């Protein structure tokens, strides 16, 4: 649909107004002989374009030479199956592990306190009850006697610890407190009885002493030390 006279004698470069394809179009043979006598067409008037604000913006020139959009055939799109991203699965697995770990720390807190006594302070701060010190154990045959050792008056306390529960128990430290007639604490000390776990029904004896006990002491108390103290 181009006027053959606009092509000149040797043809010229043309561009499709629809798809922007460019090529060299030769002058048709019937017109080529007369094209020499036809004056060339006037030069095209310059057209001004605004420069794009950035190199990412192609501007109007690039838009005019852009590739044509593909023809849509109207076929129905196939639904792609949704896949759970691996990151979501990873976070879900981590959350499950955290929940299981926290549950285990709560359910097995008594055993954990036995293995690591300082953890009792953490459970107490979180208001999670734990077994009292010496749970499942019993003090038996506790008897104080006054003796002389190395020329000094000495108070000797003897007795035994028995496991009255159905599971093995760790024997915590024992604490001895000397009191006066008004139940005021005068002297106290702690000692370790054994590092081995005490089996059900078993017992272990203990003996402790203090040199030059307070003369005001009229009674004593033997108890288990709370874990972490």
Q: What is the DSSP string of 75-125?
A: PPPPPPPP---HHHHHHHHHHHHHHHHHHHHHHTHHHHHHH-TTHHHHHHH
Question: What is the pLDDT, as a whole number, of residue 85?
Answer: 73
Question: What is the pLDDT, as a whole number, of residue 156?
Answer: 94
Question: What is the pLDDT, as a whole number, of residue 106?
Answer: 63
Instruction: Report residue 12: phi and psi, to 5°.
Output: -160, 170
pTM equals 0.47
C-alpha angle with apex 17: 16 to 21, nearest 5 degrees? 35
Question: What is the pLDDT, as a whole number, of residue 32?
Answer: 47
Over residues 113-172, the pLDDT tens digits come to 666 666 667 767 777 776 777 889 999 999 999 999 888 999 999 999 999 999 998 898
CATH topology of domain 137-224: Immunoglobulin-like (2.60.40)
Domain boundaries, the chain: 1-46, 86-125, 137-224
Question: What is the pLDDT, as a whole number, of residue 13?
Answer: 86
| pLDDT, average across residues 183-208 | 92
Please state, in angstroms and rounded to a whole number, the distance separating the CA atoms of residues 173 and 28. 114
Instruction: With CA atoms as reference, report the closest residue to 20 among 57, 60, 53, 68.
Output: 68
Please state, in angstroms and rounded to a whole number, the distance separating the CA atoms of residues 127 and 109. 12
């Amino acid at each position: 649909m181009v006027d053959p006279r606009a092509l000149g004698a040797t043809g010229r470069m043309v561009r499709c107004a629809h798809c922007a394809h460019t090529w060299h179009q030769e002058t048709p043979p019937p017109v080529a002989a007369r094209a020499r006598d036809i004056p060339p067409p006037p030069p095209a008037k310059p057209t001004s374009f605004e420069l794009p604000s950035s190199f990412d913006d192609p501007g109007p020139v690039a838009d005019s030479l852009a590739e044509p959009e593909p023809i849509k055939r109207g076929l129905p799109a196939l639904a792609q199956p949704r896949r759970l991203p691996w990151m979501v699965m990873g976070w879900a697995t981590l959350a499950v592990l955290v929940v299981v770990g926290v549950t285990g720390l709560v359910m097995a807190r008594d055993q954990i306190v036995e293995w690591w006594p300082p953890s009792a302070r953490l459970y107490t701060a979180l208001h999670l009850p734990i077994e009292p010190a010496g749970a499942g154990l019993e003090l038996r045959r506790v008897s104080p006697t006054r003796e002389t050792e190395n020329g000094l008056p000495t108070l000797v306390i003897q007795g035994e610890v028995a496991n009255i529960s159905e599971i093995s128990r760790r024997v915590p430290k024992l604490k001895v407190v000397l009191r006066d007639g008004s139940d005021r604490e005068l002297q106290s000390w702690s000692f370790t009885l054994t590092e081995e776990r005490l089996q059900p029904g078993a017992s272990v004896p203990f003996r402790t002493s203090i040199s030059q006990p307070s003369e005001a002491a009229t009674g004593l108390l033997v108890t288990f030390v709370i874990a972490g103290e």
